[in-house]
Amino acid sequence: MLHPISHAGGRAGALRMKVGGLVVGIAAAVSVMALPVHADPLGLRGAYVGLNAGAAWGSSDYATDPGCLASTFVTFCDSSGGSAANGTAVANSGTGELSSAGIAGGIQGGYNWQLGNFVLGGEGDFGAFDLSDSASPSGAFPVTFLGDSYSLRESMSTKWLATLRGRLGVLVAPRLLLYGTAGVALTDFKFSSSYRDNAIGFGFPGGTGSGSKSGVRAGWTAGGGAELFLPKGWSVKVEYLYVDFGSQSITVPTSNTDAFTETMHVDADLSASLARLGLNYRF
């Protein structure tokens, strides 16, 4: 039978060992968490520049509001009268999607920090983003008046893309980084819309109208990739990005002489995906 004092002493010793082990474990964890951000066992910290090339594919969804007025004498439709169905027909024809695929490529630069197996940093890039498409829908007016048919033309285009993103990744092998990235994106986005009908006669030349909007659009981007760090400061990467620039509204004034006018509106958005290869050099 164990003496009560020795039994208590054994339990106290065991408790001290457990507490000591816990303290050592906490101290080790704290020491890892407290590693300075410049800890860089593989020499990945620093600035880099590079080139990228790949492909982009995207789409622009558009929808047309013909702007029918509450009057019996308008260009082609009357929101309160018998020709309201004409406005519905034009709206249906003027709703759709433009899609395109093109090249994507340019330059990039950024900075990396390494903390153990984690690499974080920021990157910016600028390059080609060549997307363009057009459509020419047409139809017959359900309610004929001076004219019985109409046609529309919708077109979109972009030329360049710039992004500014943060990156966070983990080294899954000594020199292989898997990372996620997100940030802001900029592009030049142009959308044009036009309308024409054959309401010709009795001094009327036919209804026509056109409008466009062109300018720099800001949006967001997110994606990910893999980067292989090579000797002598080089690295290669493969990357996917999704970009979304939201929607913009295009005003399309239409008329059939100055006395009979109305204003159509077309809402058009833009989103795209990019897949590209990159080559970087670290300083």
* Tens of pLDDT, residues 66-109: 999 887 666 788 887 788 899 999 999 999 999 999 999 999 99
Instruction: Tell me the three state secondary structure of residue 142.
Output: coil
User: What 3 state SS string does 10-38 have?
Assistant: HHHHHHHHHHHHHHHHHHHHHHHHCCCCC
Nearest to 207, CA basis, from 82, 80, 96, 68: 68
Q: What is the pLDDT of residue 46?
A: 94
- Bigger pLDDT: 1 vs 104: 104
Q: CB within 8 A of 38, min separation 6: which ones?
A: 45, 113
* Domain boundary assignment for the chain: 1-34, 37-282
Q: CA-based diameter of the chain, in Å?
A: 122
A 10 A CB-CB count for 96 gives: 16
Q: What is the pLDDT of residue 40?
A: 65
Q: What is the pLDDT of residue 146?
A: 84
76-to-90, 92, 183 alpha-carbon distances in Å = 10, 15, 45
What average pLDDT does this structure show over 120-128?
Answer: 97
pLDDT band for 140, please (50, 70, 90 cuts).
very high
Q: What is the pLDDT of residue 9?
A: 43
A 10 A CB-CB count for 16 gives: 10
Instruction: Tell me the three state secondary structure of residue 207.
Output: coil
* Tens of pLDDT, residues 4-31: 333 334 433 443 444 344 333 433 333 3
